[in-house]
Amino acid sequence: MEVARPALRLQGEQRLYQVVARRILRMIEANAGKPDWHMPSERELAEELEVSRPVVREAVIALEMRGIVEVKGRAGIIVRPVRGKQINFDMLPTDAGPGPFELLEARLALEASAAAIAAERATNYDIAVLEECIFRMEQETDAVALTEKGDRDFHLTIARMTGNAIIFSMVEALWTQRDESLMWKKLHEHIHAPSVRPLWIGDHHAVLAALRLRNPDAAYKAMARHIRNVSAELMEADERGRLAPEETDEAKV
């Protein structure tokens, strides 16, 4: 009879991706002397460690930022040579701040509910401000940046529309963490702005339409759909961006 393995749990204030990163590091250490050993794929790691793929992705990004691993297309996760002294895997600082998908999960929980409350309290002035935010987003044609003002202002305006100072401060704090996150910046390196902007702007129009109707349920669903779309696109775009140059060229043929 197979004994079920206990799921990973957080201790103290550790982030889940920190725990996963250390488990991956120990896996690397345990197999360091095996020439035929290869790192499992992200999907395999997720199954083995019993966590979601986004959490594994965050752990891999944290290790990649520290030069421990590198991700290359079909080759998968490559362990880079360790120079000098052996790494102390337990002491290695794997905390690079909130994970991108951790932030999106928190935003989904908070901002969808904020949109529902805002729909009940929206004024014509609020709607006009949101229209201006979307207009500015449509004029921003550069690559997706960490501090897109139109996008940020759109979401903070909705939080402000709730009339609840605590909700506003929480949403603002999440966006500030996003803007300051090195992991978010690393993930965004793989975003192809021209392909994702129409989808995300369309999502904002859908949220605005629900707010115009003063429909809390529709506003909740539209905001939740938008944030889920962002999460899904970040996963897919990062995988496309990790293709090796020769693979990308083949895809163009």
Q: Are 210 and 222 in contact (CB under 8 A)?
A: yes
DSSP-derived 3-state class of residue 50:
coil
pLDDT tens sequence across 116-129: 999 999 999 999 99
Kindly report the CATH class assigned to 16-79.
Answer: mainly alpha
Lowest mean pLDDT among 15-24, 145-154, 227-236, 240-249: 240-249
Q: Does domain 100-241 have CATH number 3.30.365.10?
A: no
Of 158, 192, 162, residue with least CA distance to 175: 158
Q: Please state, in angstroms and rounded to a whole number, the distance separating the CA atoms of residues 92 and 172.
A: 31
DSSP-derived 3-state class of residue 143:
coil
16-79 and 100-241, same CATH topology: no
pLDDT score for 200: 86
Question: Could you tell me the pLDDT band of residue 153, with boundaries at 50, 70 and 90?
Answer: very high
Please state, rounded to an integer, the average pLDDT across all residues of the chain.
81
pLDDT tens sequence across 37-48: 888 988 899 999
CA atoms within 13 A on the CB side of 175: 22
Listed by start position, the domains of the chain span 16-79, 100-241
Q: Please state, in angstroms and rounded to a whole number, the distance separating the CA atoms of residues 179 and 60.
A: 20
DSSP structural state of residue 244: -
Question: Could you tell me the pLDDT band of residue 140, with boundaries at 50, 70 and 90?
Answer: confident
Determine what percent of the chain is predicted with pLDDT higher than 90: 41
pLDDT tens sequence across 87-137: 554 555 555 678 889 999 999 999 999 999 999 999 999 999 999 999 998
pLDDT score for 233: 82
- And the tokens for 130? 């949101």
Read off the pTM.
0.76
DSSP-derived 3-state class of residue 43:
helix
